[in-house]
Amino acid sequence: MRILVIHNQLWAHYKSKLFCEINASLKHRFPNSELLVAQIALYEAARGSMQDQDDFLYDYPYQVLFQTSLDKVGFKDRLSALINTFNSFKPTVLNVTGYFDWAQVLLMVYAKTKGVKIVLSSESSTADHERTWWKEKIKSRIIGLADMFFCFGKTSADYMISLGVKTSQIAVDNAAVIDEAFIKSNFDHSKELIPATLKTDHTFVFVGRLAEEKNLQMLTQAFIKLQMEEPVAEFWNLLFVGDGPERQDLEILASKSPFPERIRFAGGFPWHKIPGWLAKSDVLVLPSSSEPWGLVVNEAMVCGMPVIVSEKCGCAQDLVQNGSNGFLFNPKKQQDLEKAMHYFMQNPGRIEIMGTQSAELIKRFSSKKVAEEMVESYHKL
């Protein structure tokens, strides 16, 4: 096998972790195979500050086609570089990790004429954006070029099926992976450093961009209402880890709390610093009104934390078992969120038990396990 993977940007740490595991599995199972990950650019302009930590190891064969931002690479240059890479490497399998780029779509057409098998990786779901019939028709034609599909989770698999993909073509439906070993190790280390005097309090934590689609006004209002009505809420905190355009409004809203010091804003941090904040928390809350997946839920579950997740998050169906490792709620109904948060306030002894369930459920999304499933799928093609 000669596997060529096309990916947008090098600075995508969890994808790089997956590529590392794929490379390791290939070396172990099919030592005569070759892998090349063609990274189109270094980063996306909007995420230029999210470079991996300095000692991150890209332990897989890769080539960066343009040493700049993805946004600065024009269509013609991109297409030319992709075709040249394809012709030079001569793959037997092409894995395209995005089909919204016409250069990659044309590469799929070109690969088809050469008899190369095509795998399409998809993170899309019906909840991503408002859909129009003509766009869906175009997508159906594009995905019809692929022989096999790797999907982030059940919602993305269902979306592919709605576009005409056969269930038998979906080889992997659990591709939403993180660097679980790194996250858990840093979490455990950070947990050990917390003074015993601080372990009597409990904390709900949100991690992500402080933006309108994250539904954080409702989260803050729900917490304040519980502070007013529930006596034990005095011993609970709400922690925001992240930054964004809604921060000032959220801080103003938080100042109206009966215990404003219990609502804290930590600011933004790189991904590898997040486990330290999770270690200071008890329950993750992701209240988004729109969320393609929500990898922070994976992170929290790997750390053995229960989760409260909006039904509109792509990960909801795969990662949350209502009442077992956390709760799902309708992001348009504040009382549903209040009910879930109130449960943990009234039953703090359930936090560890439900967190253990989280750690068990997330095992299916192990990067090593998923990589092995992908390698087996490449081989079957």
**Per the structure block, which two tokens stand in for 146?**
């692929």
Q: Is the pLDDT of residue 372 over 90?
A: yes
Q: How confident is the model at residue 145 (pLDDT cuts 50, 70, 90)?
A: very high
Q: Note the pLDDT of residue 47.
A: 55
Give CA–CA dist 138/133, Å, rounded: 9
pLDDT, tens digit, 9 for 90 and up, residues 157-190: 999 999 999 999 999 999 999 999 999 999 999 9
Q: Note the pLDDT of residue 315.
A: 96
Q: How confident is the model at residue 52 (pLDDT cuts 50, 70, 90)?
A: low
Q: Note the pLDDT of residue 89.
A: 98
Q: Note the pLDDT of residue 98.
A: 77
Taken in order of first residue, the domains within the chain and their CATH numbers are 2-177+366-380 (3.40.50.2000), 180-364 (3.40.50.2000)
**H-helix or E-strand spanning residue 265:** strand 263-267
Q: Give the closest residue to 285 by CA, choosing from 185, 194, 203, 356.
A: 203
Q: Is the pLDDT of residue 129 over 80?
A: no
Q: Three-class SS of residue 332?
A: coil
Residue by residue, DSSP assigns 306-317 as -EEEETTBTTHH
Question: Residue 378 in contact with residue 1, Cβ under 8 Å?
Answer: yes
Average pLDDT, the chain: 94
Higher-confidence position of 305 and 134: 305
pLDDT, tens digit, 9 for 90 and up, residues 68-118: 999 999 999 999 999 999 999 999 999 998 788 999 999 999 999 999 999
Beta bridge partners of 117: 93
Q: Is the pLDDT of residue 51 over 80?
A: no
As a whole number, mean pLDDT of residues 142-155 equals: 96
As a whole number, mean pLDDT of residues 26-35 equals: 97
As a whole number, mean pLDDT of residues 245-259 equals: 97
Q: Note the pLDDT of residue 124.
A: 83
Q: Note the pLDDT of residue 55.
A: 62
Q: How far does Cα 27 stand from its chain's mean position?
A: 27
Amino acid of residue 22: I
**What DSSP designation does 322 have?**
B
Q: Is the pLDDT of residue 325 over 80?
A: yes
Q: Note the pLDDT of residue 274.
A: 96
* CB neighbours of residue 28 within 10 Å: 10
Asked which of 40-44, 96-100, 244-248, 274-278 is least confident by mean pLDDT, the reply is: 96-100
As a whole number, mean pLDDT of residues 266-279 equals: 95
**Per the structure block, which two tokens stand in for 294?**
């929500």
Which phi and psi angles does 199 have, rounded to 5°? -85, 0
Q: Is the pLDDT of residue 126 over 90?
A: no
As a whole number, mean pLDDT of residues 209-227 equals: 97
Q: How confident is the model at residue 24 (pLDDT cuts 50, 70, 90)?
A: very high
Q: Is the pLDDT of residue 125 over 80?
A: no
**What DSSP designation does 69 have?**
B
As a whole number, mean pLDDT of residues 122-139 equals: 79
Q: How confident is the model at residue 127 (pLDDT cuts 50, 70, 90)?
A: low
**Per the structure block, which two tokens stand in for 261?**
């010091």
Q: Note the pLDDT of residue 195.
A: 82
| N-term to C-term CA, the chain | 9
Question: pTM, whole model, 2 decimals?
Answer: 0.93
Q: Note the pLDDT of residue 198.
A: 64
